[in-house]
Structure 1
Amino acid sequence: MRTNAEYQSDVLIIGSGAAGLSLALKLADHAKVTVLSKSGLTEGSTLYAQGGIAAVFDEADSVEGHVADTLVAGAGLCDEDTVSFTASSAAASLNWLIDKGAPFDQVADDNGEQQYHLTKEGGHSHRRILHAADATGKVVQTTLIDNVSQHPNITLMERFNAVDLISTKQLNQATNRIVGAYVWNREAEKVEVIKARFVILATGGASKVYQYTSNPDVSSGDGIAMAWRAGCRVANMEFNQFHPTCLFHPDAKNFLLTEALRGEGAYLRHADGTRFMPSFDERAELAPRDIVARAIDFEMKRLGSDCVYLDISHKPAEFIISHFPTIYERCLKLGIDITTDPIPAVPAAHYTCGGVMTDLTGQTDMRGLYAIGEVAYTGLHGANRLASNSLLECIVFAHAAADDVLSKLHKTRKDYRIPAWDESKVTNSDEEVIIQHNWHELRLFMWDYVGIVRTTKRLERALRRVNLLQQEIDEYYSNFRVSNNLLELRNLVTVADLIIRSALERKESRGLHYTLDYPEQFDEPEPTILQPKV
């Protein structure tokens, strides 16, 4: 059976979080934009971001200070030009978001005038985090949705999976640029074509490759895998950030305990109430995430504990409830009163610091293809991401990509005939259990062998297993019709392979990559860059 549905757009944006929707809004006055959302518009990592967005809004703070903190957190692997560009663009990008209606928290100053309430998080030397209580991502996402849903030039396509990018090389053209994508319509259960003059990947990260993650189910590395298959380089895939504190409770899936808790004075304790972070780092609970996560991992393994405890109960109850209403209500439903009780917490995979290589406009190695947000590697995060730089990166690079796309839009008008998806040689699967088994095996060995603390032996063991899984999944993909689980598993196994290979290449411990076999650091570190064979 061959499908016939085909859509045409000036710009196709794959992903509907802060990066994708910001870009859509920046482009829509000048171009026809299609936004592809794998699930509903609200179901992405942006919605669940609690802490806030970093930007210099305090006269006592400085862009140079923001740059310096980012470079320190990045452990010697940040690109300084990218860091300076991002920090310098932060205030303007945030003011754009505020103009769109984002209601960040404000307080009265000494003169009774309202100013933005700025909080402080781990790794920051100054209060520079704009936030909306402890649900900043939700406010940002809903604000952007309100705006894009009203724009006549934006078409929103929910419950569509991107399958693969389409290049002119595949169409036997002399040039090689991206001209669209095959997408799976989850409602109609068929693959369709979206043709576009420019395609932007805004698909987020790949933390679902791990058994325990703070991310929603959609974070399956789709954009990274598709770009790799299309011929784009990826970089620094070994640097997977594990958030130190996710709620440890059998009835709480993926619930994050924001960095801002520690920023406002929460302590990490053992079950007996003793603190342990001061013995690991002079910054104690405000050390960068990689240090805090490793400390928790070490203490849990040393004591055989299931979790540690995050305790802010020494602060006034009114302060806690007003600053962290979402966490307070969620925990209370589980029988934990955070105004009086410590919160059980464990680390979980949280953020992908590497990704598809781009320049400062979001342009990838492939003409016509951009990547922005967590899917991209710009050099901003280095070996570890500074807290609250993630949403900032989404907005800043959405604006940069929009400017570049608009400068080229009138020069790119050629139309290409794209063949429909051919399903004539595949059948419906009668062995869905294979997908479920491989899914579980992949996420488990990634957690056990490629987690917070690594060894060469563990990584080699993981590489052997991922190679076998790739063969099985490729064979399965060739013989059966696509489904959501199959598409995600295919992408996750690709990303897992990239993570493992990158980790094996780095013969040092730096930032989020910590290996017992190479505990020292190089004097002059370089990014880990992988080149596809296409």
Structure 2
Amino acid sequence: MTTSSAGSAGPGDATGIRLHAPAPGWSLDSDVVVVGSGVAGLTVALRCAAAGAKVIVVTKAHLDDGSTRWAQGGIAAALGDGDTPAQHLDDTLVAGAGLCDEDAVRVLVTEGPDAVRRLIATGAHFDTDAAGTILLTREGGHHRRRIAHAGGDATGAEVSRALIAAVVDAGASHPQDPAADTAPVAAAAGTDTAAAAAAADDADASAEGSIEFVENALVLDLLTDAQGRTAGVSLHVMGAGARDGVGAVRAGAVVLATGGMGQVFSATTNPAVSTGDGVALALRAGAEVSDLEFVQFHPTVLWLGADAEGQQPLVSEAVRGEGAHLIDAEGVRFMVGQHELAELAPRDIVAKGIMRRMQETGAEHMYLDARHFGARMWAERFPTILAACRAHGIDPVTEPIPVAPAAHYASGGVRTDLRGRTTVPGLYACGEVACTGVHGANRLASNSLLEGLVFAERIAADVMAGTRPAPGEPVPPAPADAPLLASEARYEVQRIMTAGAGVLRSADSLATAAGALERLHTAAVEAYDRDGKTAEPCVETWEATNLGLVARVLVAAARRREETRGCHWREDRPDRDDRDWRRHLVVRLTPHGTLDVRATDGPALPATRPGPLPAAVTPAAGIGDDGAAPTLRRTRP
């Protein structure tokens, strides 16, 4: 590891490391391949298709199985009377604890309201009053009610439903299923007005785009051409169909929208598919990642017992926004006096407050008390949470909810610029897998869906700008010489990370975690060097290997950051240190499989690409100036 200043990578900086896998047995061609089908991935796909691109969306399970559908609280934007983007910016910067990229935040909050309106025009239905005005709530770190929600506490599910419907209803096809409707989605530039629809009918056929899906597919590695430019991805389709096993999708632009890496911990709010695949792929491809030490632990996750593992039920911050109180076993509101916003302080502060009280009292959890809501409010405003609690034998109408922090969101990820471009030419990242600089050291509540929307539109605009050189043929990769971890290593990684790099960290705990992870890695390497054998290539070993890599990066960065800031809490370094540590840590994987960890010179991240970057990017073709969504029309040959 080195302490020199971080800079941007250039073409040809790929590591040469890839996952062991059979050679691709089939291939597809497209202009753009999007990996992931949450809010970020589907928005990119829709906008690129609207501008005339042939898009293939690769998703690990079914279309709605990612993290987006689990977002309960809502989407933050300055939509209410008296609220402004400037106020939203201030709240975001405070939550980010000095490490937000202010330009990125300004993009988010100024372009956010119109992006939400375009989402509504696409078909998303938010909760409204009798007059049709969007209802807004408050969450931690927000000084105003600016959280739009749907279905009470099912915002992510509604956003996912609307975006999937916008594609499927328009005729998207599933190429791995021979029985699927193969009519493409043809997207004409324009708005949803009658005049624009007429203009779309007259559009040149060359401007029509299409979207296809490959479901139940785990992305493996990036394909590149002889110049080091992105040329597609390799992937493995799980299950029988027209295409199964390992294949390739060739494309000049690859957009990673794979979500988070919460499964690196034993207990998380993330679904089982969140195994850090996008970050791991990017690292092997030579891309830089940043801020991976800043893992947000949601303060109020339903406590199911000390030995609970896997995905845990979330109790949305919106419950506190509507007036619920955090209490200990004696009924004391322990957050009062710790922060001006008490229970509505930013998430890192509330999580730390809960952990401190647990340490002081020797308790395994605290309580969230919303008995004063009454049965009707619980049923109407928070039906999903109510059902989850009752399914586990807890009735929040009559008793406080036991809660404790659990891994929730990666504030860092693959480093991008304001166009979503990574340090690898042709590779983009968006959503939780990316580090745009918006979140800094701690994400402000409900900014995640907004980030996915805003930066997805910016990526689509850049992809469709027409200034990129066409990629050449993918260069056949050299034989893989890095071993896979055994499938059972997944649980060992989770145990190591939970014990040493969870909410509470120290030099000793992180050193122990680093040593244990290194022993896992070294044992696999030595066995491979000794007898040339590695774990059998399969979904379970690929996921374990990805988790092992992102865990090593997270721990390496957490060890280097010798302070407490945002959601990185060092018990041995309890103070924030702006003099030495108001800077980012940028990590790259070397061709030898080691990690190069570098600190930036200050709070600004280096450019990912040479040349100037405009402050604003025009939305992709097909998005009207009035904020309307593109008109999609179905055609058949």
Which residue in the other structure is 1:467 paired with? 518
Distance 1:61 1:3, change over 3 A: closer
Q: TM-score, normalised by structure 1?
A: 0.93
- Deviation of 1:279 after TM superposition, in Å, equals 4.1
My pick for the range that moved more, 411-420 or 362-371, is 411-420
Which residue in the other structure is 2:60 paired with? 38
Which residue in the other structure is 1:176 paired with? 228
The aligned runs of 1:82-93 (5 Å cut-off) are: 82-93=104-115
Question: CA–CA distance in 2 between the matches of 1:504 and 1:318?
Answer: 48
1:473/1:490 contact within 8 Å kept: no
2:368/2:403 contact within 8 Å kept: yes
1:242/1:350 contact within 8 Å kept: yes
Q: Which amino acid aligns with 2:589?
A: P
- Deviation of 1:413 after TM superposition, in Å, equals 3.3
The aligned runs of 1:410-449 (5 Å cut-off) are: 411-419=468-476, 434-436=486-488, 438-449=489-500
Per the alignment, in what secondary structure is the counterpart of residue 166 of structure 2?
helix
Which residue in the other structure is 1:146 paired with? 165
Q: Which amino acid aligns with 1:219?
A: S
Which residue in the other structure is 2:443 paired with? 385
Per the alignment, in what secondary structure is the counterpart of residue 268 of structure 1?
strand
Question: CA–CA distance in 1 between the matches of 2:40 and 2:435?
Answer: 14
- The correspondence for 2:144, drawn from 107, 126, 135, is 126
The aligned runs of 1:118-267 (5 Å cut-off) are: 118-132=136-150, 133-149=152-168, 150=170, 151=172, 152=184, 153-168=210-225, 173=226, 175-188=227-240, 190-249=245-304, 253-267=311-325
Per the alignment, in what secondary structure is the counterpart of residue 314 of structure 1?
helix
Question: CA–CA distance in 1 between the matches of 2:394 and 2:108?
Answer: 39
1:19 aligns with 2:74: no
1:426/1:481 contact within 8 Å kept: no
What are the Cα deviations for residues 41-91 of structure 1, in whole angstroms up to 9, with x where unaligned? 111110100000000111211110000000000011101100001000111
- Deviation of 1:422 after TM superposition, in Å, equals 7.5
1:120/1:264 contact within 8 Å kept: yes
The aligned runs of 1:77-116 (5 Å cut-off) are: 77-108=99-130, 113-116=131-134
Distance 1:48 1:377, change over 3 A: same
Question: CA–CA distance in 2 between the matches of 1:134 and 1:278?
Answer: 26
Question: How many positions carry a matched residue from both structures?
Answer: 518
- Deviation of 1:521 after TM superposition, in Å, equals 2.0
2:230/2:471 contact within 8 Å kept: no
Question: CA–CA distance in 2 between the matches of 1:382 and 1:420?
Answer: 36
Per the alignment, in what secondary structure is the counterpart of residue 513 of structure 1?
coil
Percentage identity across aligned positions? 42
Question: CA–CA distance in 2 between the matches of 1:420 and 1:504?
Answer: 34
Which residue in the other structure is 2:424 paired with? 366
Question: CA–CA distance in 1 between the matches of 2:474 and 2:107?
Answer: 39
1:3/1:421 contact within 8 Å kept: no
Question: CA–CA distance in 2 between the matches of 1:384 and 1:284?
Answer: 17
Distance 1:416 1:128, change over 3 A: same
Question: CA–CA distance in 1 between the matches of 2:93 and 2:213?
Answer: 37
- Deviation of 1:494 after TM superposition, in Å, equals 0.7
Distance 1:106 1:465, change over 3 A: same
Give the gaps of 5 or more residues in structure 1.
none
Per the alignment, in what secondary structure is the counterpart of residue 69 of structure 1?
helix
My pick for the range that moved more, 187-196 or 389-398, is 187-196
- Deviation of 1:421 after TM superposition, in Å, equals 9.9
1:303 aligns with 2:361: yes
Per the alignment, in what secondary structure is the counterpart of residue 355 of structure 2?
helix
Q: Which amino acid aligns with 2:127?
A: D
Question: CA–CA distance in 2 between the matches of 1:27 and 1:415?
Answer: 21
- Deviation of 1:346 after TM superposition, in Å, equals 1.3
Per the alignment, in what secondary structure is the counterpart of residue 489 of structure 1?
helix
Question: CA–CA distance in 2 between the matches of 1:51 and 1:508?
Answer: 30
Which residue in the other structure is 2:69 paired with? 47
1:426/1:480 contact within 8 Å kept: no
Question: CA–CA distance in 1 between the matches of 2:69 and 2:288?
Answer: 29
1:450 aligns with 2:471: no
Q: Which amino acid aligns with 2:34?
A: I
Distance 1:352 1:506, change over 3 A: same
My pick for the range that moved more, 338-347 or 217-226, is 338-347
2:73/2:316 contact within 8 Å kept: yes
Give the gaps of 5 or more residues in structure 2.
1-21, 173-183, 185-209, 592-637
Question: CA–CA distance in 2 between the matches of 1:253 and 1:380?
Answer: 26
Question: CA–CA distance in 1 between the matches of 2:132 and 2:228?
Answer: 53
Question: CA–CA distance in 2 between the matches of 1:258 and 1:414?
Answer: 44
- Deviation of 1:426 after TM superposition, in Å, equals 13
The aligned runs of 1:311-330 (5 Å cut-off) are: 311-330=369-388
- Deviation of 1:520 after TM superposition, in Å, equals 2.2
My pick for the range that moved more, 138-147 or 294-303, is 294-303
What are the Cα deviations for residues 390-415 of structure 1, in whole angstroms up to 9, with x where unaligned? 01000001000000000037x54344
What are the Cα deviations for residues 162-190 of structure 1, in whole angstroms up to 9, with x where unaligned? 1111122xxxx2x2111111101211562
Per the alignment, in what secondary structure is the counterpart of residue 275 of structure 1?
coil
1:265/1:312 contact within 8 Å kept: yes
Per the alignment, in what secondary structure is the counterpart of residue 514 of structure 1?
coil
1:269/1:309 contact within 8 Å kept: yes
Question: CA–CA distance in 1 between the matches of 2:514 and 2:387?
Answer: 42
Question: CA–CA distance in 2 between the matches of 1:192 and 1:274?
Answer: 58
My pick for the range that moved more, 221-230 or 268-277, is 268-277
My pick for the range that moved more, 42-51 or 439-448, is 439-448
Normalized per residue, which structure has more helix?
1
2:74/2:155 contact within 8 Å kept: yes
Which residue in the other structure is 1:10 paired with? 31
Per the alignment, in what secondary structure is the counterpart of residue 309 of structure 1?
strand
Which residue in the other structure is 2:587 paired with? 530
2:288/2:586 contact within 8 Å kept: yes
- Deviation of 1:2 after TM superposition, in Å, equals 4.7
Q: Which amino acid aligns with 2:133?
A: Q
2:501/2:510 contact within 8 Å kept: yes
What are the Cα deviations for residues 81-108 of structure 1, in whole angstroms up to 9, with x where unaligned? 0000100011111011000110000014
Distance 1:167 1:472, change over 3 A: farther
Which residue in the other structure is 2:455 paired with? 397
- Deviation of 1:224 after TM superposition, in Å, equals 0.6
1:244/1:346 contact within 8 Å kept: yes
2:267/2:407 contact within 8 Å kept: yes
